[in-house]
Amino acid sequence: MSPDLSIVMLSLRVAAVAMLLALPIGFGLAWILVRKQVRGRFLIEAVVSLPLALPPVVVGYGLLIVLGGRGPFGGLFGDGLVFTAYAASLASAIVAFPLIVRTFVVALDGVDPRLELAARSLGAGPWRVLLTVTVPLAYRGLMAGALIGFVRALSEFGATIVVAGNIPGRTQTLPLGIFTRIQAGDDEAAVRLVVVSIGLAIATLIAHDYLLRRGGLAGRRQRAGFGA
């Protein structure tokens, strides 16, 4: 396998694992924010949005402290998660998490709660309502949220390089590979990876925009803030 292809495949795996970590939690939190009247909502929204406001390097440094050998959770993972692909996935998941939750909030907010109540009145349990009413009605928006989170995870640099390092074949994702080749003066290799990165981003964003429009969410993009 060529070095460039190895970097692309590793980047896709890191982003996919990041989505496996972020999507279930993001969906549950978005559902709570839309369907429940929770105390401290503003605080929850602020904490969830924090990775958008902080430099990614700060997120990576925080993970390095928490997951390192001397950190509170470092001992749970043997030698620790730092400087592994799992650390890169976790960093990418955290950075992408606010975008996922915001998009999920918009998608779930577009589902008429009266339809859910009607299903409950006919004897459907909460999980059946969720799986047969809520998710099918919101699935385009949910897919859009997954895609925007995926492309953000795919492009993560700052948090990843701090907590996972830049180890070829182990943690060197597309952004890190481009950075390394620019530093080495290998412009031809850097341009190849840039083209691949742009192609993946454009394809994902086109699919994201298509799903938003098909789901009737394009006109409500301004509501992607939590207060919508």
Q: Which long-range contacts (CB under 8 A, 24 or more apart) does 56-62 make?
A: 56/91, 56/95, 56/156, 56/157, 56/158, 56/159, 57/158, 57/159, 57/162, 59/91, 59/94, 59/95, 59/158, 59/159, 60/91, 60/158, 60/159, 60/160, 60/161, 60/162, 60/163, 61/162, 61/163
Give the pLDDT confidence of 172-188 residue by residue, as tens digits.
999 999 999 999 999 99
Confidence check: pLDDT of 1 > 80? no
129 CA to centre of own chain: 26
Q: Is 65 helix (H, G, I), strand (E, B) or coil?
A: helix
Domain that holds residue 217: 3-224
Helices (H), 122-155: 126-129, 135-154
User: Confidence band (pLDDT; 50, 70, 90) for 78?
Assistant: low
Cα(16)–Cα(20) distance, rounded to whole angstroms?
6
Give the pLDDT confidence of 146-166 residue by residue, as tens digits.
999 999 999 999 999 999 999
Q: Which two tokens stand for residue 53?
A: 């406001």
Number of domains in the chain: 1
User: Confidence band (pLDDT; 50, 70, 90) for 85?
Assistant: very high
Give the pLDDT confidence of 25-63 residue by residue, as tens digits.
999 999 999 988 888 888 998 999 999 999 999 999 999
Write down the pTM of the prediction: 0.87
User: Confidence band (pLDDT; 50, 70, 90) for 75?
Assistant: low
Q: Is 162 helix (H, G, I), strand (E, B) or coil?
A: helix
Which domain CATH number covers 195? 1.10.3720.10
